[in-house]
Amino acid sequence: MRRWLEQPLTRGLDLDDPRTTVARREVVRRKRFLRRLYGDWYADLRAALPEGSGGILELGSGAGFLADSVPRLLRSEVFFCPWVEAVLDAHHLPFAEGALRAIVMVNVLHHLPSPSTFFTEAARAVRAGGVIAMIEPWNTPWSRFVYRRLHHEPFDPNASEWAATAGGPLTGANGALPWILFTRDLHHFAARHPEWTVESVEPHMPIRYLLSGGVGMRSFMPGFTYPFWRALEDLLKPISRRAGMFARVVLRHRPAR
């Protein structure tokens, strides 16, 4: 059954092979339900962007299409992909001090081997008042059940380290890491990175991603049903903190005193 449910375009591919990312981009393009889901994520990220000068860097552009929604976006990856402008390491950003007004990413932070190093680097590269805006997996009773039983990535809310598990750029992960940083260990994060204010954390999407099948499975619902499921999730917003599978997190770079 699982083999039948797997997305044929990516079945059997090594997740850390760049060719898998190329195949996943085609999956997102073909799956109307998933493409519309990504569109909603991108609208949330776009709404968090500050006005003014400075570039906007997308980390882990991967299979996504954020550049269609954000003009003059600088797309990047950890390995070469034909559609990205830069191959870089999030722990060593090749930008001058204050050159960026925002860093955006979808499902990237929980793969970083050293998030603290990234936040220090980002504070150097992002101007005062700029933001880091991200969509990341989130830890709720419902999401724990789903991620631990139905998803291939590690999900450990009890991890003592702020780090992804050992592995390649896509196989190394801890899906609970964003929740650890911005909820469980929020006071420690604030003490270690006072240059960043956690401006908002908005859990959401308890159903839609599952129905989309993500990039690894077939869709469980046709694209034309997407507005219905989005409307249903709007009604479920009061329980999102108990059932959301993802969260939009926005960090604001504090002006120097």
Q: Domain locations in the chain? A: 2-253
- Decide: helix, strand or coil at residue 150: helix
Q: What angle do CA 9, 24, 201 make, to 5 degrees?
A: 140
CATH 3.40.50.150 applies to domain 2-253: yes
Q: Which two tokens stand for residue 61?
A: 């552009």
Whether pTM exceeds 0.85: yes
pLDDT in single tens digits along all 257 residues of the chain: 556 577 777 877 888 898 899 899 999 999 999 999 999 999 999 999 999 989 999 999 988 899 999 999 999 999 999 999 999 999 999 999 999 999 999 999 999 999 999 999 999 999 999 999 999 999 999 999 999 988 889 999 999 999 998 889 889 999 999 999 999 999 999 999 999 999 999 999 999 999 999 998 899 999 999 999 999 999 999 999 999 999 999 999 997 66
Distance CA 7, CA 13 (A): 11
Cite the beta strand spans of the chain per DSSP E.
55-59, 73-77, 86-87, 100-106, 126-137, 196-204, 246-253
Spatial contact of 174 and 165, defined as CB atoms under 8 Å apart: yes
